[in-house]
Structure 1
Amino acid sequence: MSLRYPALHASHSGIWIATDEGTRPIGRGEAIRIAADTPVIVLNAALVGQRLGYADLAGLDVLELFAFMCPARFMVPTPRGLARATGLETPARDEDVATFLRAAAQALLDLPKGEWPEKEGAWMSAQSLFRLRWPWAPVIGDHLVKPVEAERWLFSKLPEWSEGAPRPQPRTITLDGDETQARLAHLTGSAAEQRTGQRAFAQAAMDAFGPRMVRDSPNMVLAEAGTGIGKTLGYLAPASLWAEKAGGAVWVSTFTKALQRQLGQESARLFPDATVRKQKVVTRKGRENYLCLLNLEDALQGGFQNRAAVLAQLVARWAAYSADGDMVGGDLPGWLPTLFRRNGSTALTDRRGECVYAGCPHYRKCFIERAARASSEADIVIANHALVMVNAARGRELTTRPTRYVFDEGHHLFDAADSMFSTALTGQETIEIRRWILGPESGGRGRRRGLQARLSDVASYDEGGARAISEAVVAAQALAADGWLQRVGEGAPFGPIETLLAAVRGLTYARAEAAGDAGYALETELAEPDATLVEAAGPAAHALDALVRPLVTLGRRLEAVLAEAPDWMDGPARARVEGAIASIGWRAETVAAWVSLLARVGGPASPDFVDWLAVDRVEGREYDIGLHRHWLDPSKPFAETVLKPAHGALVTSATLRGGGADPNEGWAVAEARTGANHLLRGASRFEASSPFDYASQAEVLIVTDVKRGDMGALANAYARLGCASGGGMLGLFTAIRRLRGVHARIADRLARDGLPLYAQHVDPIDTGTLIDIFRDDASASLLGTDALRDGVDVPGESLRLVVMEGVPWPKPTVLHAARRLASGGSAYDDRIVRARLAQAFGRLIRRADDRGMFVLLSAAMPSRLLTAFPPGVRIERVTLDEAVLRASRLPSVTQVVQEVRLDA
Structure 2
Amino acid sequence: MTSLPYPALHASHTGIWIAHGDTVRAVSRGEAIRTAADTPMIMMNAPLIGQRLGYADLSGLDLLELFAFLRPASFMVPTPKGLAAVTGLDLPADDGAVAPFLLAATERLLAIPDGEWAEREGAWASAQFLFRLRWSWAPMLVERIRKPARDERWLFSKLPEWEEATPRPVPRVVTLDAATTQRTLATLVGPGAETRPGQRAFAEAASGAFAPRPTRDAPNLVLAEAGTGIGKTLGYLAPASLWSNAAGGAVWVSTYTKALQRQLSRETRRIYTDDAVRRSKVVTRKGRENYLCLLNLEDALQGGFAGRAAVLAQLVARWAAYTADGDMVGGDLPGWLTTLFRRNGSTALTDRRGECVYAGCPHYRKCFIERAARASAEADIVIANHALVMVNAARGRELSTRPTRYVFDEGHHLFDAADSMFATALTGQETIELRRWIVGPEGNSRGRRRGLAARLSDVASYDEGGAQAIADAVKAAQGLAADGWLQRLAEGAPFGPIETLLASVRGLTYARAEGAEDAGYGLETELAEPTPELIEAAAPAAEALDALYRPLVALGKRLEAVLSDAPDWLDGAARARVEGAIASIGWRAEIVAAWLSLIARIGGPASADFVDWLAVDRGEGREFDVGLHRRWLDPTRPFAEIVLKPAHGALVTSATLTAGGSWETAEARVGAPHLARPASRFEAESPFDYAARAEVLVVTDVKRGDVPALAGAYARLIEAAGGGTLGLFTAIRRLRGVHARIADRLARAGLPLLAQHVDPIDTGTLVDIFRDDSHASLLGTDALRDGVDVPGHSLRLVVMEGVPWPKPTVLHAARRLAGGGSAYDDRIVRARMAQAFGRLIRSAEDRGVFVLLSAATPSRLLDAFPPGVPIARVSLDEAITRVSSRLSSHATFGHEAAPAP
Encode CA deviations 1:328-366: one digit per residue, 9 max, x unaligned. Answer: 000000000000024111100011111011111000000
- Check conservation: 2:64, 2:78, Cα contact below 8 A: yes
Encode CA deviations 1:99-143: one digit per residue, 9 max, x unaligned. Answer: 111111111110011111000000000000001100000011111
SS in 1 for 2:785: helix
Match of 1:748 in 2: 744
The one-letter code matched in structure 1 to 2:754 is Y
Q: 2:777 aligns with which of 770, 776, 781?
A: 781
More divergent stretch after superposition (142-151 vs 159-168): 142-151
- Check conservation: 1:337, 1:345, Cα contact below 8 A: yes
Deviation at 1:515, TM superposition (A): 6.8
* CA distance in 2: counterparts of 1:727 and 1:339, whole angstroms: 27
* CA distance in 1: counterparts of 2:350 and 2:51, whole angstroms: 28
The one-letter code matched in structure 2 to 1:676 is A
Match of 1:712 in 2: 708
Deviation at 1:657, TM superposition (A): 0.2
Encode CA deviations 1:719-769: one digit per residue, 9 max, x unaligned. Answer: 000111110000000000000000000000100101100101000000000
SS in 1 for 2:611: strand
Match of 1:647 in 2: 648
Q: Does 1:577 align with 2:574?
A: no
- Check conservation: 1:60, 1:135, Cα contact below 8 A: yes
- Check conservation: 1:797, 1:892, Cα contact below 8 A: no
The one-letter code matched in structure 2 to 1:749 is R
SS in 2 for 1:23: strand
SS in 2 for 1:336: helix
* CA distance in 2: counterparts of 1:516 and 1:573, whole angstroms: 55
The one-letter code matched in structure 2 to 1:131 is R
Q: 2:871 aligns with which of 857, 861, 875?
A: 875
Q: 1:687 aligns with which of 677, 683, 695?
A: 683
What is the number of equivalent residue pairs in this alignment?
891
Encode CA deviations 1:843-893: one digit per residue, 9 max, x unaligned. Answer: 000000000000000000000001100001000000101111122124457
The one-letter code matched in structure 1 to 2:845 is D
The one-letter code matched in structure 2 to 1:863 is S
More divergent stretch after superposition (606-615 vs 99-108): 99-108
SS in 1 for 2:400: helix
SS in 2 for 1:889: helix
- Quickly say closer, same or farther: Cα 1:518–1:842, change in 2 above 3 A: farther
SS in 2 for 1:888: helix
Q: TM-score, normalised by structure 2?
A: 0.98
Match of 2:895 in 1: none
Match of 2:76 in 1: 75
* CA distance in 2: counterparts of 1:143 and 1:689, whole angstroms: 59
Match of 2:335 in 1: 334
SS in 1 for 2:254: strand
- Quickly say closer, same or farther: Cα 1:63–1:553, change in 2 above 3 A: same
Match of 1:901 in 2: none
- Summarize the alignment of residues 221-370 of structure 1 with structure 2, pairs less than 5 Å apart: 221-370=222-371
SS in 1 for 2:617: strand
SS in 2 for 1:317: helix
- Summarize the alignment of residues 30-45 of structure 1 with structure 2, pairs less than 5 Å apart: 30-45=31-46
SS in 2 for 1:716: helix
- Summarize the alignment of residues 241-640 of structure 1 with structure 2, pairs less than 5 Å apart: 241-514=242-515, 517=518, 519-640=520-641
Match of 1:668 in 2: 664
Deviation at 1:445, TM superposition (A): 3.1
The one-letter code matched in structure 1 to 2:513 is A
* CA distance in 1: counterparts of 2:711 and 2:527, whole angstroms: 39
- Summarize the alignment of residues 191-202 of structure 1 with structure 2, pairs less than 5 Å apart: 191-202=192-203
SS in 2 for 1:626: strand
SS in 1 for 2:885: coil
SS in 2 for 1:335: helix
- Check conservation: 1:797, 1:891, Cα contact below 8 A: no
The one-letter code matched in structure 2 to 1:136 is W
Deviation at 1:894, TM superposition (A): 7.1
Match of 2:65 in 1: 64
Match of 2:13 in 1: 12
SS in 2 for 1:791: coil
Q: TM-score, normalised by structure 1?
A: 0.98
Match of 2:851 in 1: 855
SS in 1 for 2:656: coil
The one-letter code matched in structure 1 to 2:528 is A
Q: Point out where structure 2 has 5 or more consecutive residues left out of the alignment.
A: 893-901
Runs of 4+ deviating beyond 6 Å: 893-896
The one-letter code matched in structure 1 to 2:693 is Q
Match of 2:880 in 1: 884
- Check conservation: 2:793, 2:890, Cα contact below 8 A: no
The one-letter code matched in structure 2 to 1:217 is A
Q: Does 1:185 align with 2:183?
A: no
* CA distance in 2: counterparts of 1:697 and 1:475, whole angstroms: 65
Deviation at 1:6, TM superposition (A): 0.4
More divergent stretch after superposition (511-520 vs 77-86): 511-520
- Check conservation: 2:269, 2:278, Cα contact below 8 A: yes
* CA distance in 2: counterparts of 1:156 and 1:98, whole angstroms: 41
More divergent stretch after superposition (517-526 vs 418-427): 517-526
* CA distance in 1: counterparts of 2:846 and 2:785, whole angstroms: 18
Deviation at 1:698, TM superposition (A): 0.4
Q: Does 1:209 align with 2:207?
A: no
The one-letter code matched in structure 2 to 1:711 is V
* CA distance in 1: counterparts of 2:117 and 2:879, whole angstroms: 52
The one-letter code matched in structure 2 to 1:474 is K
* CA distance in 1: counterparts of 2:480 and 2:890, whole angstroms: 59
* CA distance in 2: counterparts of 1:240 and 1:21, whole angstroms: 59
Encode CA deviations 1:247-272: one digit per residue, 9 max, x unaligned. Answer: 00000000000000000000100011
SS in 2 for 1:579: helix
- Summarize the alignment of residues 80-91 of structure 1 with structure 2, pairs less than 5 Å apart: 80-91=81-92
Identity of aligned residues (%): 79
* CA distance in 2: counterparts of 1:359 and 1:448, whole angstroms: 14
The one-letter code matched in structure 2 to 1:602 is G
* CA distance in 2: counterparts of 1:325 and 1:893, whole angstroms: 44
* CA distance in 2: counterparts of 1:704 and 1:881, whole angstroms: 10
Deviation at 1:895, TM superposition (A): 9.8
- Check conservation: 1:726, 1:895, Cα contact below 8 A: no
Deviation at 1:516, TM superposition (A): 5.9
Match of 2:718 in 1: 722
* CA distance in 2: counterparts of 1:842 and 1:234, whole angstroms: 19
* CA distance in 1: counterparts of 2:658 and 2:671, whole angstroms: 14
- Check conservation: 2:72, 2:318, Cα contact below 8 A: yes
Match of 1:902 in 2: none
* CA distance in 2: counterparts of 1:378 and 1:847, whole angstroms: 31
Deviation at 1:387, TM superposition (A): 0.2
SS in 2 for 1:674: coil
- Summarize the alignment of residues 40-55 of structure 1 with structure 2, pairs less than 5 Å apart: 40-55=41-56
SS in 2 for 1:491: coil
Give me the CA root mean square deviation: 1.0
More divergent stretch after superposition (464-473 vs 444-453): 444-453
Q: Does 1:700 align with 2:696?
A: yes
Deviation at 1:442, TM superposition (A): 1.4
- Check conservation: 1:800, 1:890, Cα contact below 8 A: no
- Summarize the alignment of residues 775-814 of structure 1 with structure 2, pairs less than 5 Å apart: 775-814=771-810
The one-letter code matched in structure 1 to 2:272 is F
Deviation at 1:519, TM superposition (A): 2.0
